[in-house]
Structure 1
Amino acid sequence: MSDDLEPISPREAVDLYVSHRELEISAKTLQNHKYRLNAFVEWCNEVGIDNLNELTGRDLHRYRVWRQQDVNIVTLRGQLATLRVFLEFCASIDAVEPGMRERVKLPDVDRGDEARDEMLDADRAHKIIGYLERYKRASREHVIMAILWHTGIRLGSLRAVDLEDYEPKDQCFWLRHRPDTDTPLKNQEPAERAIALDDYYCDVLDEYIRFHRHDVVDDHGRKPLVTSDQGRLSSGQIRSEVYRLTQPCMIEGCPHDRDPNDCEATEYGHYYDCPSSLSPHTIRRGAITYQLREDIPEKIISDRCDVSSEVLDRHYDRRTDREKMEQRRDFIEDL
């Protein structure tokens, strides 16, 4: 232990860290950091670490082994990433030795495994859409994010919509299976349907078409609804847009303690490298869960989002058992 360190308890250090970050990150992110670090404080209390000056690399390994008994690998990686940021702060206030954060080894996580546990929560979705409403209203980015969240449709479904499929008077657009011209729907003809839109989303689409949509056709002579200056967007272009739009630093501070001006993940082709960026499918999962929490019947969500009840329950519904119980209670109170 270095003689330059000043004694401090784990709890006091966490309290100082929280106070330090509360103006830099959102309340939701700060709450997540407090939850993750509370587990570390609990472990310190269990093993008798009363002074962070005494913390060693071996202690950090023991904490990781202790924590991985209760959480999956995706959650573990997130909690250890927060611990690393915390330890960097602790080094700056002479609570731990410099370089202690590098002794926290993050587990490798397959992106596919991570995606199965990820979803865009409603609070974050509304912040992103609110930001786009304020600064980029009716832009292509606004349309992509707003429509994916409002409808819960797949990336390929959004890409498949033509300008003539949108019916502003009836406030809807149609999804058509057109495999011969490069826009198939995942579940083919049975997935063809009309998607109802609220007033706000129709207004955004109307403005986009009037002011920002490129008047172009694709390789098959069709007019896409959402365009680039070259024609219909590819799946990769839409996916890249979503990765960029879900980076936290677009609307608030970076939770990974990076400088956005120097971060490679803010450069085109590297948006995916941000640990907090999300894929289009996490928007679908979050949108479906949000609709379920808003008491929209499962049958309506199943039809609107083209997902069977069995698959909805197994892969999309992220409500807790208690949430489901409380929603059922609302329907039986007057029986």
Structure 2
Amino acid sequence: MSGPRDLSPRDAWKRYIDRRRTELTDGSADSYHYRLKLFGAWCEERGIETVSELNGWLLDEFRAYRAGEGIAPTTLHNEMETLRGLVEYLENIGAVEDGLAEKVDVPRVSEDDQSRETKLTTDDALELIQFHRSNDETYGSLFHAFLEVAWHTGARLGALRGLDLRDFNSDVGYVEFVHRPETDTPLKNKRKGERMVKLLPEVVDVLQEYIANDRWSNHDDHGRQPLFTSTRGRPGRNTVRVWSYRATMPCVHGPCPHGHDPPDCEFRSHSHASKCPSSRAPHHIRTGSITWHRDRGIPKEVTAERVNASQRVIDRHYDTATKLEEMELRRGPHLDKLSLN
């Protein structure tokens, strides 16, 4: 009869995530899944059949392998921290030797590395938005509407996916983010994440055009009408990511900066959009949006409320303005106040 020590690495990490699903958001569970899937694949390539074979040397070998892939320090830190959580779980169920989790080397990350984040820059975002607004063929398209809302609200992927048609008020001009876990659209911060976010008239106009001409009139599995729809109803999280990648490709409005011919570029396809060096995920749009809000002089407390994040978290993880940007865009306008005249 098999026991915990006979678990394969693949079965072990799947079992671990299943045990933690009640305490993890969908987004966090997806992140854990991806990180531990990499570890499981590495074990299989090394011929490691059961978790009982794991030891300090192998765990250090995996760390060296991932570091050699050239990943960011923060990424390596997160992957090894998640792996240590898995090994701690395996210790608790008697699948590996006691104390093995202590041998998982989680590298320290400086605050600078923690806050250094790829983002959709303001210049790139505004160029894309202005292109769509002046282009009759793409104005009000799905990608245009998605980019406008994502950029102007700074919302998370799950919040954008969870918007219903009823959550958009064109008369007053806002979208409302609502926590609806019972019908598969929870917000990260649950009820505390619920909020109404005011939209500019130009963004309202884009959404109205999208709803009238480019939105699929579909319901989801719970009878709700999503604001952003796919041919099957409410899009999955990965579909929303692909929309984001495709909406932020620079070749949408100009020549490819990487020397590719857009009509023949494989990155333009649904399955390869994430591979474009210049495309950005929803989290990168959020990061760029928060920096843009701050650069435009929006008070921290207002930005925090719009994007549903604490001021401390914004300062540390999202607001990635450089020192020069802070001087020119934020402090510069106050310089006249120091004049002696």
Category of TM-score, reference length = shorter chain = 0.5 to 0.7
Matched to 2:164, the amino acid is D
Name the residue aligned to 1:198: 200
- Distance in 2 between residues matched to 1:274 and 1:313, nearest whole Å: 29
Name the residue aligned to 2:248: 246
Name the residue aligned to 1:270: 272
Which segments of structure 1 move beyond 6 Å, counting only runs of 4 or more? none
Choose from 110, 119, 124 the match for 2:71.
110
TM-score for both structures, normalised by structure 2: 0.62
Post-superposition offset of 1:322: 4.4
Post-superposition offset of 1:333: 4.1
192-201 vs 162-171, which moves further: 162-171
Name the residue aligned to 1:293: 295
243-252 vs 221-230, which moves further: 243-252
CA 1:312–1:231: 2 relative to 1, 3 Å: same
Name the residue aligned to 1:334: 337
260-269 vs 116-125, which moves further: 260-269
Q: Contact (CA 8 Å) 1:119, 1:286: kept in 2 or not?
A: yes
Name the residue aligned to 1:161: 163
Is 1:124 equivalent to 2:124 in the alignment? yes
Choose from 238, 245, 256 the match for 1:236.
238
Post-superposition offset of 1:294: 0.8
Is 1:148 equivalent to 2:150 in the alignment? yes
* Partner SS, residue 337 of structure 2: coil
Q: Contact (CA 8 Å) 2:153, 2:197: kept in 1 or not?
A: yes
Choose from 311, 314, 317 the match for 2:316.
314
* Partner SS, residue 204 of structure 2: helix
Q: Contact (CA 8 Å) 1:171, 1:196: kept in 2 or not?
A: yes
Q: Which string of whole-angstrom CA distances, capped at 9 and with x for unpartnered residues, describes residues 285-316 of structure 1?
A: 11110111111101100010001111101111
Q: Contact (CA 8 Å) 1:151, 1:195: kept in 2 or not?
A: yes
* Partner SS, residue 232 of structure 1: coil
Post-superposition offset of 1:329: 5.7
- Distance in 2 between residues matched to 1:230 and 1:254, nearest whole Å: 32
CA 1:139–1:260: 2 relative to 1, 3 Å: closer
Is 1:185 equivalent to 2:182 in the alignment? no
Q: Which string of whole-angstrom CA distances, capped at 9 and with x for unpartnered residues, describes residues 175-229 of structure 1?
A: 1000110000011000101010110011111122222222221000111111122
- Distance in 2 between residues matched to 1:304 and 1:323, nearest whole Å: 22
CA 1:291–1:268: 2 relative to 1, 3 Å: same
- Distance in 1 between residues matched to 2:189 and 2:312, nearest whole Å: 15
Matched to 2:265, the amino acid is C
Q: Contact (CA 8 Å) 1:132, 1:141: kept in 2 or not?
A: no
Specify every segment of 5 or more residues in structure 2 that has no aligned partner in the other structure, as ranges. Answer: 1-67, 76-112
RMSD: 2.2
Specify every segment of 5 or more residues in structure 1 that has no aligned partner in the other structure, as ranges. Answer: 1-106
Percentage of matched positions with identical amino acids: 40
- Distance in 2 between residues matched to 1:167 and 1:259, nearest whole Å: 40
- Distance in 2 between residues matched to 1:185 and 1:233, nearest whole Å: 16
Choose from 215, 221, 224 the match for 1:213.
215
- Distance in 1 between residues matched to 2:277 and 2:241, nearest whole Å: 15
1:42-81 equivalences in 2 (<5 Å): none
- Distance in 2 between residues matched to 1:325 and 1:158, nearest whole Å: 33
* Partner SS, residue 313 of structure 1: helix
Q: Contact (CA 8 Å) 2:119, 2:287: kept in 1 or not?
A: yes
Choose from 316, 323, 326 the match for 1:324.
326
Post-superposition offset of 1:251: 2.2
Post-superposition offset of 1:127: 1.4
- Distance in 2 between residues matched to 1:283 and 1:109, nearest whole Å: 23
- Distance in 1 between residues matched to 2:231 and 2:122, nearest whole Å: 32
Number of equivalenced pairs: 229
Matched to 2:119, the amino acid is M
